[in-house]
Amino acid sequence: MTIGTSNTEAQTIHPTNLSTLPQAQGVALRSVTKQYGSVVAVENLTLDIPAGSYCCLLGPSGCGKTTTLRMIAGHEDITSGDILIGNARVNDLPPAKRNTAMVFQNYALFPHKTVWQNVEFGLKMRGTPEPDRRDRVDEMLEIVGLSSFAKRKPTALSGGQQQRVALARALVTRPQVLLLDEPLSALDESLRVKTRGELRKLQRQFGMTFIQVTHAQDEAFSLSDQIVVMDHGHIDQIGTPQEIFVAPASQFVAKFVGDNNIFTGKVVNAIADTNGYIIQLEVEGIGTLLCRGQFAQPGDNAACCVRADRMHLEVQPTAEGQTVHNRVSARIAFVEFTGYVTRVRLLVESTGAEILYKVRSHDCISQPLQEGQVVTLNWSTDDCIFLPH
């Protein structure tokens, strides 16, 4: 197994008999609020993170995710509420007493210390006897594939190697919860993709609770058991990666993940069937759209969304006078080849609103799409998700 490697630096994690690790603990936040003067960074946040799971706090800059992570770690005091690790209320405990460890965005390595000394530091500060420190540091460097770099200083390492040192320094203390503040943001794209897979493997190997902050949806999707989508200090949605991607619960989540096209309108009717409700949404300039959701009150303002890859494109426009649902005429504004996928931006003929359509590039070979071309887009009711807010 390799971790954080580039094409020119393949490091192998050798099978190792890990020493006895503490039992993973879950993390619970109960009505947690954090204020900086009159500014509310996190408001009334309640969250349960199961023991031994990989949880990602996902959201844009300023949504409160890093503040939440730092409150769990004890680096930020909470204004009100409770934080529990396992069954223990840790509000008043300093970071060193919470049995957590944190990997910072900039790694925070000591430049004057060697790799070995950096990894040893936390154990030394805790008063771990020297023979135990030696065994545990050697073991951890072997796990992350840095045994041959033990005598180097951080400045002599690549970004991926520095990241592994930071991980080793955190894991060697055997925390019950590992906290990661955008640990991959300093890596280039190819290294980031490789490293996130190895992070997941390490989490499974240690059986530890990992809580990671990220603004990158692909990172959250590939790593998480649980994703917590945050916006303006609140939780907008909690779910598995599949739930967040397939069934966003709000307009914010739909905009933030999945290349969703969002249509706003007014609820006309909600018809119960065996799978919930088919909701009729009247959208100005487009007509009636049928979408899936829970019950909606007729007359309410709401929205629906459909992912760009779940739309179907027809070259022939809809016949005049034909009554159809989930179908719209649009003009191609821009065709963007991105490799495997071609992204097509279109403007709705009746409103000028922008729609995104995604298709496999291979499927465009026999029937190329041209800018200025008028086409018809349609989609299934089951692929159209009702957004109540």
Last residue of a domain, one of 217, 246, 275: 246
Per-residue pLDDT band for 316 (boundaries 50, 70, 90) equals low
Question: Quick one: pLDDT band at residue 12, thresholds 50, 70, 90?
Answer: very low
Asked whether residue 4 is assigned to any structural domain, the reply reads no
- Number of domains present in the structure of the chain: 2
Any domain includes 13: no
Q: Whole domain around residue 196: which residue ranges?
A: 27-246
pTM over cut 0.85: yes
- Is residue 135 located within the same domain as residue 277? no
DSSP 260-296: EEEEEEEEEEEEEETTEEEEEEEETTTEEEEEEES--
Q: Are 267 and 300 in contact (CB under 8 A)?
A: yes
Please report the pLDDT score of residue 318 as a whole number.
53
As a whole number of angstroms, the distance between CA 329 and CA 218 comes to: 31
294 and 234: one domain? Answer: no
Regarding whether 84 and 223 lie in a shared domain, the answer is: yes
Same domain for 198 and 279, yes or no, is: no
pLDDT in tens, 260-309: 999 999 999 999 988 889 999 999 999 999 999 988 899 999 999 999 99
Q: Mean pLDDT of all residues in the chain?
A: 89
- Compute the distance between CA of residue 341 and CA of residue 360 in angstroms, rounded to an integer: 5
Identify whether 172 is part of a domain: yes
Q: 11 in the Ramachandran plot: left (φ > 0), alpha (ψ -120 to 50) or beta?
A: beta
Q: Is residue 236 domain-shared with residue 264, that is, in the same domain?
A: no
pLDDT of the residue at 181: 94
Closest CA to 346 of 332, 360, 357, 367: 332
Distance CA 185, CA 136 (A): 28
Q: What DSSP character marks residue 299?
A: T
Same domain for 280 and 209?
no
The residues, any chain, with a CB within 8 Å of residue 338's CB and separated by 6 or more, are: 361
228 and 366 fall within a common domain = no
**Integer Cα distance of 49 and 25 in angstroms:** 9
The pLDDT score that the predictor gives to residue 367 is 76
Say yes or no: 124 and 156 in one domain.
yes
Among 50, 37, 47, 89, which residue's Cα sits nearest to residue 69? 47
pLDDT score at 13: 42
What does each C-alpha distance from 306 to 285, 303, 331 come to in angstroms?
17, 11, 18
Distances (CA, A) of 67 to 118, 303, 304: 26, 31, 31
Q: Are residues 352 and 310 in the same domain?
A: yes
Residues 266 and 238 in one domain: no
CA distance 208 to 26: 9
Mean pLDDT of 355-371: 89
* Max Cα distance, the chain (Å): 84
| Mean pLDDT (whole number) for 332-339 | 94
- The CATH number of residue 223's host domain is 3.40.50.300
**Residue 319: per-residue pLDDT:** 55
Mean pLDDT value across residues 72-77: 96
Contact 38, 30 (CB under 8 A): no
| Residue 98 predicted with pLDDT over 50 | yes
CATH number at residue 381: 2.40.50.100
Average pLDDT of span 240-254: 95
Between helix 159-171 and helix 115-125 the angle, nearest 10°, is 20
| Top-confidence residue, 24 or 40 | 40
Q: Give φ, ψ of 311 to 5 degrees.
A: -85, 155
Q: Tens digit of pLDDT for each residue in 99-151?
A: 999 998 888 899 999 999 999 998 998 889 999 999 999 999 998 889 999 99
| Gap between the Cα atoms of 65 and 276, Å rounded | 33
**Three-class DSSP category at 237:** strand
